[in-house]
Amino acid sequence: MQENHSHGKRSRKKRRRSENSILAGSILLCIVTLTAVTICLVMVFQYRAVQQKNTAVMSELETIRLKEEAAYNQAEVDAMIESAVEEAKEKAGEEVSEQFLGRIKEFMTSGQGTTEMLRAFFPDEIVVADTGKYYFFPILEGLAKNTYDPESFMPDGDGVMHYYVNGERASRKGIDVSRYQDKIDWEKVASDEVDYAFIRLGIRGYTEGEIMEDETFQDNIEGALKNDIDVGVYFFTQAMSEEEAEEEAGFVIDSIAPYKVEYPVVIDVEAVTSTNARGNDLTSAERTKYCITFCEKIKEAGYTPMIYGNLKTFTLLLDIKELEAYDKWFAYYDESYYFPYDFKIWQYTNKGRVAGIKGDVDLNISFEAPRDDEDDDT
């Protein structure tokens, strides 16, 4: 009976220890839970406080932004500029396209050709049409430009062009002739108020290269001088070397030695349409060099050298940059010329009419006081 009692006491102690352990664990769990909840609540309150602080800060920043709405940082300015530029480009592009198409339509309906249209669209370039192609030459800043006023050119009832300065005529009437004008009555030419005449002295053949005097040269120069018309001469070149250029100049100098030649001695530089012309393969640099050789020899002989040519001559055939030292005689058949550089004489038509000459003749205008004015001043 005593052994059972001891066993019962041990069981009760064991239960009490077990209950105490459970109680202690529960208390510990409660403490841990309470601590965790407390920490969470603290964190929540802290987060809420931070959130409220952030909200306040953002609100303050928004207020500042609204108050300073007219001020922008560099990034905002750049973005605004880019947006404005793109918008302007789109708008301008539409307007330019409409204007461009409108101008094309005007040219087409007015009967003006493609060349005139291109020249209007490219005013800072010389547009040259040749053999089915268009060439564009920038107008060079370093070269002398002509300063003639387009509004001061006035043709008379006979189609003779005059130039006026301050209401006074400041130009002279001239012609150029060759065997194609046949026999000329120079007395009648003088009566038609012709101040000067360029006489073709000769040519170099464009196939064989032979130098030939114009068959009417002597009659024409003597007839013009006899009737008190100032004369110059011109020679159609086909020189293929500096030696040939010197030969041409020498021939000219010898031929005019007996005569009073006060107007320029001209080298005529033009393209030849024949496919077998000897000078067709010359480069611009070569042709320019031979032209200079001719002009220098003429100058050494005491005459004034001059270069005759048209738009193609002074763009495609010659390098005009190298010819600034020489006067130009420019051929362009219209009521207004198309050439930015300086020139002394303008050949404005090949369909002129002059008393004493059968058929058409080239008419020229030079920019000097007319003969009558010169006489009045003496």
Q: How far, in Å, are 3, 266, 347 from residue 328 at the CA level? A: 151, 9, 11
What pLDDT does residue 49 have?
A: 42
Name the residue ranges covered by the structural domains of the chain. Answer: 1-71, 142-377
- Most distant CA atoms of the chain, gap in Å: 182
Q: In degrees to the nearest 10, what's the CA dihedral of 8, 10, 12, 16?
A: 180
Positions of E strands within the chain: 125-130, 133-138, 153-155, 161-165, 168-169, 172-177, 196-204, 211-213, 230-236, 265-268, 305-310, 327-331, 345-352, 361-366
pLDDT in tens, 331-342: 999 999 999 999
What predicted TM-score, i.e. pTM, was given to this entire model? 0.74
CB 338 within 8 A of CB 332: yes
The CA distance from 370 to 269, in Å, is 28
Please determine, for residue 84, whether its predicted confidence score (pLDDT) is greater than 90: no
**For range 96-122, the mean pLDDT:** 80
Percent of the chain at pLDDT exceeding 70:
72
Whether the per-residue pLDDT at 10 is higher than 50: the answer is no
Q: Please name the amino acid found at residue 280.
A: N
State percent of the chain over pLDDT 90: 64
pLDDT at 12: 47
Residues 50-89 as b/e (b if ≥16 CB within 10 A, e otherwise) read eeeeeeeeeeeeeeeeeeeeeeeeeeeeeeeeeeeeeeee
Tokens of 239: 């020189």
Question: What are the angstrom distances between the C-alpha of 60 and each of 17, 70, 73, 81, 112?
Answer: 63, 17, 18, 29, 69
Q: What is the pLDDT of residue 111?
A: 80
Asked if residue 159 lies in contact with residue 352, where contact means CB atoms within 8 angstroms, the answer is yes
Mean per-residue pLDDT, 138-150: 96
Superfamily name and number for 142-377: Glycosidases (3.20.20.80)
Average pLDDT over residues 187-214: 97
* CB contact at 8 A, 324 and 279: no
Determine contact, residues 155/170, Cβ cutoff 8 Å.
Answer: no
Q: How far is it, in rounded angstroms, from Cα 316 to Cα 16?
A: 124
Look at residue 238 and tell me whether its pLDDT is greater than 90. yes
Tokens of 214: 């114009």
User: Taking the CA of residue 61 as centre, how many other CA atoms within 13 Å lie in the half-sphere pointing to its CB?
Assistant: 6
Q: Per-residue pLDDT for 199 more than 70? A: yes
pLDDT band at 87 (very low <50, low <70, confident <90, very high): low
Rounded to the nearest integer, the mean pLDDT of the chain is 82
Task: Give the whole-angstrom CA distance, residue 66 versus residue 265.
Answer: 82
Across 108-117, 246-255, 282-291, least confident range: 108-117
Whether the per-residue pLDDT at 48 is higher than 60: the answer is no
Query: 373 pLDDT band (50/70/90 cuts)?
Result: very low
Task: Decide: 366 and 343 in contact? Cβ < 8 Å.
Answer: no
Gyration radius (Cα) of the chain, Å: 48
Residues 121-143: tens digit of each pLDDT = 899 999 999 988 999 999 999 99
pLDDT band at 11 (very low <50, low <70, confident <90, very high): very low
In which band, very low, low, confident or very high, does the pLDDT at 300 lie, cut at 50, 70 and 90? very high
> Which residue has 């000097």 as its token pair?
368
**313 touches 272 (CB < 8 A):** no
Integer CA distances (angstroms), 154 to 158, 167, 207, in order: 11, 11, 42
The continuous run of DSSP H or E covering 145 comes out as none
Please state the length of the chain. 378
